[in-house]
Amino acid sequence: MKYTLKKEDRYTYLESGEGTPLIILHGLMGHLSNFDGVFDYFSNLGYQVLMPELPIYNLPLLKTNVKNLSKYIKNFVKFKGIDNYILLGNSLGGHIALYHTKLNPENVAGIVLTGSSGLYENAMGESYPKRGDYEYIKKKAQDVFYDPEIATKEIVDNCYETLNNRNKLIRTLAIAKSAIRHNMADDLPHMNLPACLIWGKNDNVTPPDVAEEFHRLLPNSELHWIDKCGHAPMMEHPNEFNKYLEAWLNKHFPSKTMGK
């Protein structure tokens, strides 16, 4: 990614483009680079694309939860002076987007979920986490994707470092427990905004039946499948992901340049 991280006030984020705001939220062990293809593509298509770094490992332990991360997004958009924005989230990022929408329905124009938690997720399995076992963590990182080669050494090393850093580990566990507590099933039927679900057919973390349940509960949603794809479609199949997202945006929030 050729963009430079901005650090203003207490926020670290990427920003590019002009137009309708599209705010991208990464997952629990995800990074901004997971969305390189999305960021580059849509910031050149008439959207103001923003990607804040979520302060997962910097909040006080008692405030390390889905609710406070959704409040962080509220403060971020207030700081940026934007309103009527679209939220796009993967995994935990999708969950935060949903909870933020629940608390701020008047501000969110649309929502895009890919491999989102909020209903159910199978994180690292019953034996999670075997902190010192690099090969175990490597295998778990590979299982996130249909193609294990997507789990580069850098991705595995980041996971290993996170799980062997006590500060990060206890916050990772706190967030995971928070995600279970903040189940969104009862809230989704009341979210009438346009929703786009883009899901990997081979997602082992939030399996296909989770996508079907999101689709059933969200009254104004459409569901798109990507074959031979795991928990992070925007990483494994960025072109196909962008195709579905572009069509949905063009339908509900067309930019001045889209379709040209």
CA distance 50 to 32: 10
Q: Please answer whether residues 230 and 34 qualify as being in contact, where contact means their C-beta atoms are separated by less than 8 angstroms.
A: no
Q: Please answer whether residues 213 and 259 qualify as being in contact, where contact means their C-beta atoms are separated by less than 8 angstroms.
A: no
Domains of the chain, earliest start first = 6-120+181-252 (3.40.50.1820)
Tell me the per-residue pLDDT of 25-73, one tens digit each, with 9 for 90 and over. 999 888 899 999 999 999 999 999 999 999 999 999 999 999 999 999 9
Q: Helix crossing, 66-80 with 92-103: angle to 10°?
A: 70
Task: Specify which residues 199 forms β-bridges with.
Answer: 225
Structure tokens at 108: 């969110």
pLDDT for 19: 94
Give percent above pLDDT 70 in the chain: 93
CA distance 115 to 211: 8
Tell me the per-residue pLDDT of 141-157, one tens digit each, with 9 for 90 and over. 999 999 999 999 999 99
Mean pLDDT of 82-89: 96
pLDDT for 200: 98
Mean pLDDT of 80-89: 96
Mean pLDDT of 214-243: 98
pLDDT at 259 over 60: no
Tell me the per-residue pLDDT of 180-225, one tens digit each, with 9 for 90 and over. 999 999 999 999 999 999 999 999 999 999 999 999 999 999 999 9
Q: 42: which residues sit within 8 A by CB, 6+ positions away? A: 17, 22, 49, 242, 245, 246, 249
pLDDT for 195: 98
pLDDT for 260: 45
pLDDT for 126: 42
CA distance 249 to 260: 14
In this structure, how many other beta carbons lie within 10 angstroms of the beta carbon of residue 167? 11
